[in-house]
Amino acid sequence: MAQQGKESSGNRLIARNKRARFEYELGDGYEAGVVLIGSEARSLRDRAADLSDAWVEIDPHHEAWLKGMRIPEMKHAAFGHRENRPRKLLLHDYEITRLKSAVEREGMTIVATRLYFKNHRVKVEIHVARGKRKHDKRQALKERDAAREARDAIRRAKGN
């Protein structure tokens, strides 16, 4: 029986990179495990993380590393950690190959969009992405403003 007040899937959001959807056109997405040390995992339980500058780099040894993610150090931890240290991602070999070919061939980048707990394990959602140009960003802002105005107009019409 599921416990009351908890999500049935066992997922709990830690952090979201809202800037990624604005700055990039997101392509294929992957779910990866993150290798952490104890003080980092405890800090994430308090939902303390920043993904705004996080990206993935694939090294020559065919391993994926999450860089730029900030996990604040806990003041009362016995063994601390560096806030911005690179963290290894757990991906299948074929997924790393696909990511590497997309970055090399098409000049794309890999960005982290969400960090969450899934069945008591920390997972990160990563996407292959292409940077938007300035006029694309302006168009996205116009569309968002138009949608907001339409919602407000509908809300006002229902209220009267």
pLDDT in tens, 23-65: 888 999 999 999 998 788 888 888 788 999 999 999 999 999 9
**What's the angle, vertex CA 24, arms to CA 97 and CA 34, rounded to 5?**
50
End-to-end alpha-carbon separation of the chain, Å? 45
Tens-place pLDDT, residues 64-89: 999 999 988 876 656 667 778 899 99
Residues 6+ apart with CB under 8 A from 155: none
- Domains in the chain (CATH in brackets) are 11-133 (2.40.280.10)
pTM of the predicted model as reported, rounded to 2 decimal places: 0.75
